Amino acid sequence: MDTGTHIVMGAAICGLTLADPVVASDSATMTAVFIGVVSGSLIPDVDTVLKLRNNAVYIRNHRGITHSVPAVLLWPLIISVLLSFIFPEAAFFHLWAWTFLAVFLHVFVDIFNAYGTQALRPFSNQWVAIGVINTFDPIIFALHIIAIIAWMFGAEPVLTFSLMYIVVFFYYLLRFAVKAAVKQAVRNTIPDADDIFIAPTMHFFQWRVAASNKNCHYVGRAYGRSVNIYDRFEREPMPKTPYIDAAMEDKNIQAFVSFSPIYRWSVSHVGHLYEVRLIDLRYRSKSYYPFVAVAHINEDMEVINSYTGWIFSEDKLRKKLNFIPNS
């Protein structure tokens, strides 16, 4: 989920901690637990700082080790130990338990996005991405805001947030049902599809669709049970050539391939260079495919420059590559 949703989820868990009589009756424990819960709701996304290095490192590692089984166990312990120095009189076990719940829920809700997490590491490096909830879901966010405001105006927090999470639980079930209906609609539209990707959007009834059969890739949108296919691309195996082999060894290309399950490729000449481009088909936006990986290879089969990430115009892509055509 997005940072804003994780923050309001942390606030909601703070309200639920008041069901614990030790937290509710001791101000030091309450303060430490509130800080621990909010910190725990955010700490798994500390890997966002990897963007400062480069997109390749960020794409390969975001929601990776920081969302793994060891991390879920270590984050609460680290936070609780640090807070115990500031609040030595706080009940350590209660501080750890509620912080653990906050960290666990952060990682748990992230697996329902299309991006997913490597929550099963170290047992498996597979990305777990159920894809029923958008990274920012306005309904879930609004439910949290309403409950928090109600708490601020005097509503009993445990009851308020308990009722809210019951509503959220049934909302998740509804999203699963809608996705299943959309997937069946895609199968009806492309009966021989052997790979179907369905991702939510901020709009309840709209879903992004990418599917493949033996011959083609299809990209479209689902509106309820109606599926509109916007683009179709011939599915061709990537040729084995020296310049493509060189491109596939590049860190940006490798990061893209590790993350994208469905993409197409293209090769072109840009000046005296080969340009190898991989285009993720999951994120079509206004006839444009913004998530790409590009590598420029010279005649000596060396990668001159490369980039992976979100780009919404060719001019910006050239700037990211530090490349001026015909220069």
Judgement on whether residues 211 and 112 belong to the same structural domain of the protein:
no
Q: What is the DSSP letter of 145?
A: H
Residue 95 resides in a domain: yes
CA–CA dist 214, 216 (Å, integer): 6
Residue 168 resides in a domain: no
Task: Report pLDDT digits (tens) over 267-325.
Answer: 988 878 899 999 999 988 888 899 999 999 998 999 999 999 888 887 888 888 875 55
Judgement on whether residues 269 and 214 belong to the same structural domain of the protein:
no
Show which of 190, 210, 234 is a domain's final residue. 234
- Measured CA to CA in angstroms, residue 300 lies from 146, 246, 321, 323 at distances of 61, 10, 19, 18
Judgement on whether residues 9 and 76 belong to the same structural domain of the protein:
yes
Task: Report pLDDT digits (tens) over 85-139.
Answer: 999 999 999 999 999 999 999 999 999 998 888 888 889 888 888 999 999 999 9
Judgement on whether residues 248 and 226 belong to the same structural domain of the protein:
no
Judgement on whether residues 228 and 250 belong to the same structural domain of the protein:
no
Residue 149 resides in a domain: no
Residue 215 resides in a domain: yes
Backbone angles phi, psi at 239, to 5 degrees: -70, 155
Judgement on whether residues 60 and 78 belong to the same structural domain of the protein:
yes
Domain of 220 in residue numbering reads as: 175-234
Inter-residue contact 229 to 189 (CB < 8 Å)? yes
Residue 185 resides in a domain: yes
Show which of 73, 108, 130 is a domain's final residue. 130
Judgement on whether residues 29 and 72 belong to the same structural domain of the protein:
yes
CA–CA dist 327, 322 (Å, integer): 11
Judgement on whether residues 13 and 91 belong to the same structural domain of the protein:
yes
pLDDT of res. 325: 52
Show which of 110, 130, 150 is a domain's final residue. 130
Over 90: is that where the pLDDT of 142 sits?
Answer: yes
Residue 31 resides in a domain: yes
pLDDT of res. 6: 96
- Measured CA to CA in angstroms, residue 213 lies from 189, 192, 198, 233 at distances of 12, 6, 15, 11
Judgement on whether residues 126 and 8 belong to the same structural domain of the protein:
yes
pLDDT of res. 327: 43
Inter-residue contact 119 to 64 (CB < 8 Å)? no
Judgement on whether residues 289 and 210 belong to the same structural domain of the protein:
no
Instruction: Calculate ∠ Cα 237-258-137, nearest 5°.
Output: 115
Residue 143 resides in a domain: no
Radius of gyration for the alpha carbons in the chain, expressed in angstroms and rounded: 23
Judgement on whether residues 14 and 93 belong to the same structural domain of the protein:
yes
DSSP SS3 for 220: strand
Judgement on whether residues 201 and 292 belong to the same structural domain of the protein:
no
Residue 148 resides in a domain: no
Q: How many domains does the chain have?
A: 3
Q: What integer best gives the mean pLDDT of the chain?
A: 91
